[in-house]
Chain A
Amino acid sequence: MQNEEELLHEVTNKEYEYGFETNIESDTIAPGLSEDVVRRISKKKDEPQWLLDWRLKAFAIWKNMKEPEWAHVKYPKPDFQAISYYSAPKPKKELASLDEVDPEILKTMERLGISLEEQKKLTGVAIDFVIDSVSVATSFKEKLGELGIIFCSMSEAIKEHPELVRKYLGTVVPQSDNFYAALNSAVFTDGSFCYIPKGTRCPMELSTYFRINESGTGQFERTMVIADEGSYVSYLEGCTAPQRDENQLHAAVVELIALDNAEIKYSTVQNWYPGDKNGLGGVFNFVTKRGICHKRSKISWTQVETGSAVTWKYPSCILKGDYSIGEFFSVAVTNNYQQADTGTKMIHLGKHTKSTIISKGISSGHSQNSYRGLVQISKNAINSRNFSQCDSLLMTDHCGAHTFPYIEVNNQSSMVEHEATTSKIGEDKIFYCKQRGISEEKAIGLIVNGYAKEVLNKLPMEFAVEAQKLLEISLENSVG
């Protein structure tokens, strides 16, 4: 049997599995942030005046904002003047087919197990693959097009569907929302855009694989999903990042709009480079994700978070319409010196609105894992309900789990239930599994996956399998 030191050694020597870098020539703007840089980004992207104005307004707001300090995370503040705000892979020419995609990019996809060809043929998943800031491969567009579904990069949407972008951009996450959202609004370079027309059920899972690729390039994605009245879409977002030794900033914004009777299911598996065994390097992930629900509509956020050095992320729902529903299902794993401060906000404005929060935190090594949630039920949101369950599982004695639930109920007819538990992974359970011939690693995988099952079950099938593997990999040899 291993002693604690040996275990610690093994844990800390486990290298990041997806640590590799693609060699792609990049067209990069020199580091630094100013009004001029914002103008240059907009110009490079050939954007309309209204968008440049929108960006400049965001920049003006951002300049007067301070980086938030309230989260339970510690990190060296990024030097925003040391970051390059634009980087686009240089495709050799216009991309008409997959053959013309940069072979380096295709190779990267293959190493990640996401062969586009295979995905296309076998899974029926349309993929909008984002390397750094520019989408280079979009598939299934035609098929979706027949249904009137738009699934493309943000840049393309700005060109092809400006009226939709203009109508909804910043309506859920305004420029002034928070420090990182303001920054994103000023400098976002690309992202994904999705529109489902009235009464249409999107026949496949829409999937985007993000990757941060350019050393020293912060990535500022902007994603919008608009589900028109009575429509349905399931959207998958997954990420891995190459290993590097300086912190990378990622400040994405995701806006979801569910119009009357629509439903959006947004699932994320996030596995960005978490930093080395000493906590060096790794991605800083400061994301603003929010959805707005109109009448009788529903938004479900499901996330499996195993990566990033620092995670700051609260996928939220504004339940504006009567009888609308918001859900948040989360598994967050932290190991080594990772820090995660994640949770959700459910803002009940409409009558008879309902929200459910299931959060499963798993901490290992010296990591810190916090749940932060706000349930706010306004005066007018009569007969509303919330159920929250926040569980924490500790793998070692050196890690931390914290829960910060904020609850505000402003009427008499609504009800809020909150349950929270913290437990250490049971020696008894591990012993029981091992006595049946199951190795320690596998036993931990089983127990942890069992613990997170409620959330994993919410993921689309193929994602659930991937997520299970990820949990096992993230926690190998991590009991102490």
Chain B
Amino acid sequence: MIKITNLHASVEGTEILKGINLEIKPGEVHAIMGPNGSGKSTLASVLAGREDYEITEGSIEFLDKDLLDMDIDVRAKEGLFLAFQYPVEIPGVSNVNFLKAAINEKRKYFGQDDISAKEFLTAVKENSALVELDGKLKNRSVNEGFSGGEKKRNDIFQMAMLQPKFAILDETDSGLDIDALQVVAKGVNAMRNDNRSFLIITHYQRLLDYIVPDFVHVLYDGQIVKSGTKELAMEMEEKGYDWIKNN
């Protein structure tokens, strides 16, 4: 699915990612853990194509294509999705119109006609039920006035609507209570299949009780310093990040 090789990225001259190597195969769920400031969101942003970051070295292959060569929206159309740590608000643009625009732009990219009203409504109904999104939120402006938890849920709703091939969840669990966390996990688990991969970024092990990863990596100071299976997450939780620092 995606292969990151020796990725170095810096912002305003400061190197943040210092040689990341990571391969995720179709159907795999990888988790990345790490202390605040270790570069988790930076990695997510670089994958999505945010322009604030300069790639100084390395390469990323996505579905056998050069990801770094693609514009942000092309990456998305090709199937890369990022659930944001802090989803933004877009006043005056209804959630539903926003999604319709996104879906149709993607369809256009693949030479397909616009989605029919019926098909769209059916998908909205199914997917909002999946993430238990309050019906009223669908017609409200994108994330405007949503609570933190609603925003996260809305991002997962969008993910379900867009059916990406590869989804990155950046601290989707932060700020969620246990019920909301379970709902989000349910949504993600429902979407897991042999062809879809996930990169779950989290600060805590808690989310991984519900979305069980195939592999866990520890990011520290811009490098993956440890990789393992889900037991590594437990160990991290027990021993704390200081343990990494002292090794």
Contact = CB atoms under 8 A, between A and B. Distances in A.
A404 interface: no
A454 B76 CA distance: 30
Interface of A: 1, 426, 428-429, 431-440, 442-443, 446-447, 449-454
B75 to A, nearest CB: 8
Contacts of A439: 73, 105
Contacts of B162: 436-437
A442 B91 contact: no
A437 B84 CA distance: 15
Contact of B90 (A437, A440, A450): A450
Give the interface centre of A428, A434, A443 by most chain B CB atoms within 10 Å: A434
13 contacts: A432-B87, A433-B98, A434-B71, A434-B73, A434-B76, A436-B98, A436-B162, A438-B73, A438-B105, A440-B73, A449-B92, A453-B91, A453-B92
Give the interface centre of B82, B105, B109 by most chain A CB atoms within 10 Å: B105
Contacts of A447: 90, 93
Contacts of B101: 438, 442, 446
B71 A437 contact: no
Contacts of A454: 92
Contacts of B90: 429, 432-433, 446-447, 450
Nearest to B76: A437
Contacts of A436: 76, 98-99, 102, 158, 162
B76 to A, nearest CB: 4
The 6 residue pairs across chains A and B that have the minimum distance between CB atoms: A450-B92, A453-B92, A437-B76, A450-B93, A434-B72, A436-B102
B50 interface: yes
B117 interface: no
A452 B92 contact: yes
Given A431-B72, A432-B88, A449-B92, 4 more contacts: A436-B99, A437-B73, A437-B102, A450-B90
Contacts of A440: 73
Contacts of B138: none
Contacts of A428: 88
Nearest to A454: B92
A44 to B, nearest CB: 49
A435 B71 CA distance: 10
B92 A451 contact: yes
Interface in B182-205: none
A65 to B, nearest CB: 42
A440 B72 CA distance: 9
B156 interface: no
B106 interface: yes
Interface residues of B, number: 30
A108 to B, nearest CB: 32
Contacts of B91: 450-451, 453
Contacts, number: 77
A244 to B, nearest CB: 36
Interface string B62-105: 00000000011101110001101001101111000111011001
Give the interface centre of A426, A439, A451 by most chain B CB atoms within 10 Å: A439
A438 B92 contact: no
Contacts of A434: 49, 71-73, 76
A436 B76 CA distance: 6
B48 A437 contact: no
Interface in B25-83: 48-51, 71-73, 75-77, 81-82
A450 B144 CA distance: 11
Given A1-B51, A446-B101, A437 B77 contact: yes
A438 B97 CA distance: 12
A199 B219 CA distance: 74
B73 to A, nearest CB: 4
Contacts of B106: 437
A452 B82 CA distance: 28
B48 A435 contact: yes
A442 B105 contact: yes
A422 to B, nearest CB: 15
B141 interface: yes
B41 to A, nearest CB: 13
Contacts of B84: 432, 435
Nearest to B143: A432
Contacts of B92: 449-454
A450 B97 CA distance: 11
Interface string B124-138: 000000000000000
Contacts of B72: 1, 431, 434-435
Contacts of A1: 51, 71-72
B241 to A, nearest CB: 29
A431 B109 contact: no
B191 to A, nearest CB: 16
A451 B87 CA distance: 18
